Each structure stands twice: as structure tokens, then as C-alpha cells.
Amino acid sequence: MLDYVVIGGAQAGLSMAYHLTQMDKKFVVLDSESEIGASWLNRWDSLKLFTPTAYNHLPSFKFEAPKNHYPTKYEVANYFKAYVEKFKIPVQLNTLVTSVRRHKKSFSISHKDGEIEAKNVIVATGPFHIPYTPPCHKKAADEILQIHSNYYKNPTQLQDGDTLVVGAGDSGYQILNEISNDTSRTVYFSGDTTVKSLPQQFLGKTLWWWFTVTGFLNYSKYSWIGKKINTAKQPVIGTDVKGILARENVISVGRTKDALDKKITFESRKVSTIKNIIWATGYRPNFTWIEGLELDANHYPKNYRGVSNMKGLYFIGLPWMFTRGSATLGGVAKDASYIANILKKRK
């Protein structure tokens, strides 16, 4: 019988694991991937954080890098590996949890190779679960290569010819930027062109410095300001939206409405020359593997700052779990500290 099982071995799970080691608890971190940091390594090759390293530290271990450096996904993964080594965190890889069941005084955590019993469970699987692609993608011709941004690596995956990028978040615009750098390729963009972009540097300071000074990332989601930020249109950070959209080979076509064989229908036109589609259309949460869990209207677990309605079950790394920074590499440490203090009181 373990004291805790932590499900998920990225920043949220490792932050909680640090506190459990300090509390001298018997626990294990379960992760479905084959190596630490894989959740970052699996993303596109050119990915860089839009947060400078000084704001990316996990508890009690500095992310070493030059001042105002924006780390690559490889640097993040290596930092996680060093974190596990430094604090001797017990991690069990290649372990996909298929169900969590609550008993009277413990939980059963099932995976393909067996079952683990624990008094408490901390779910740290992050905000990205099931890649979402609009239903119309099924009606597009088979010869059109379709990739969700979750599986996009670099332009060498693409066929020659016109390409469509769908989605106006950070991922969508970063991928649009990379693909449209090849001026010989026409790139159609389907998404909001009015989204604001914020530079990574402003008046000699990093954007994150300004966020810290103003408290932007620390407003509770229950506060008036937090509610306004949460419901407002989110800006794209560190990507020149206007500059990308102004490129001669980038054509904005509005919302994607439908597809029929080779013909893709948009708000502004119909196009039949597209050879590739990259769907940067986000994710849907999936917590159906936790039996008896109460979900909110957005299909996320009901909780207050990570403490769920089920005794002994906790969450960390959820989007807006308490503040704007709750699901970020640099922001998860505060939530981990809060939950750790709750655990100490409940021992």
C-alpha cells in the first residue's frame, strides 16, 4: 500500500513529487511515455517556450540558462530528467493508467500490467488529452494529408503543394509562421485574424517580468479581474501575427465550414488545391477513467485549488485551476506548494 500515486510525469507531477519526497512519503510517479520529458519532446521540432527560463523553475531546483533565454523543448526535457535524478523521484515509465477506483480507505490504480493500491491519488495529466479535429475532416479526400498539431513535427512531413493551417492559438500561429517561411508554398489560414500578439520584450524587460510585476498571472479565477482575464480572448505571445498574415503566400480564409472530397469550404471562398491540413484546433479533456468523479460544465474535475470532491483525490496542472499560470511550467510550483500544505494538514 503506497501513500500516494502521482499520475503524470511532466512539470505538474514532478512538482508534487518533490513535496512528497520532502514529506518522506511512500509514492510512485506513473507516466505512459517511455522517457521523462516525452510530453514535450513529442511536440514540433522548433518549439520554444515563450516564457524565459527565469520563470520556469520547478520547486527547489533552478533551470540553469543564460539571462532571458527561451528554452527549447529539448532543454525542458533535459531539465525534467535532471530534476528526477536530483531528488531521486521514483518514476515508473510505460505505464498508462486505465482506471482509478475509490474504495473505503484507498484507491485501486489499474494499468495494462497490473494494479497498484494507494491511500491517495494525485492526477497530474495536464490539460492536453484528446486532440480535437472538427468532424468535417472525415469528408476530405484521402489524398489530403491531415495532421493534428499534436503530431506535427516539421515541414518535411508535408506533401508538396498548398497547405491549410486551422487554429488561431499560439500553436496555430507558430506553425503557420514556420510553414509559410517557404515562400514557394501557398498557405491558407483559417482562424481569427484579429487576435492580439504580445512581444516577448517590452521597454527592455521581458513580458513575463511585466506579468510578474502587475500580478497578471496571480489573479484568482474567482476574483473579478481573474474572471475577466479567463473569459477574454487570449493573445498570442512572441509571434508577429500581423507580419505573418501580411506575407504574400499567406491567404486568410475565415472559419472552416465544411469539406467534400478535395473541396474545402471557408467563410470567404472554396479551395480545391489543398494538399495538407494542419489542425491546430486544441484538445478535449478526458477524465472518464476515474470512476465516480464529478465534472464541471467544461468536463474538467470539480475541485478547489486541486482538492476534489472525492476524499484522497487531488489534481494539479489543470488550466485555470486557480490562476492563469496554473497549467504553465513556471506557474505550477505555487499550486504544488498549496496542495502540499493541504496534505500535511490531512496526514
Residue 208 confidence (pLDDT): 67
Half-sphere exposure of 224 (CA within 13 A, CB side): 0
Q: Mean pLDDT for the chain?
A: 93
Going 271 to 277 to 282 to 286, the CA torsion angle's sign is: positive
Of 51-60, 85-94, 223-232, which range is least confident?
223-232
Residue 338 confidence (pLDDT): 96
Q: Which fold has domain 2-129+285-346?
A: FAD/NAD(P)-binding domain (3.50.50)
Where do you find CATH 3.50.50.60 in the chain?
Answer: 2-129+285-346, 131-196+233-279
Cα dihedral 149, 153, 159, 165, rounded to 10, equals: 30
CA–CA separation, 54 and 2 (whole Å) = 35
Q: What is the mean pLDDT of residues 4-15?
A: 97
Highest mean pLDDT: which range of 52-66, 75-89, 223-237: 75-89
- In the chain, the percentage of residues whose pLDDT exceeds 70 is 99
Residue 347 confidence (pLDDT): 62
Q: What is the pTM of this model?
A: 0.93
Q: What is the mean pLDDT of residues 2-10?
A: 97
Q: What is the pLDDT of residues 312-336, one digit of tens each?
A: 999 999 998 988 888 888 889 999 9
Residue 221 confidence (pLDDT): 84
- CA angle, 50 as apex, 44 and 55 as ends, to 5°? 125
CA–CA separation, 189 and 206 (whole Å) = 29
CA–CA separation, 217 and 319 (whole Å) = 12
In CATH, the architecture of 131-196+233-279 is 3-Layer(bba) Sandwich (3.50)
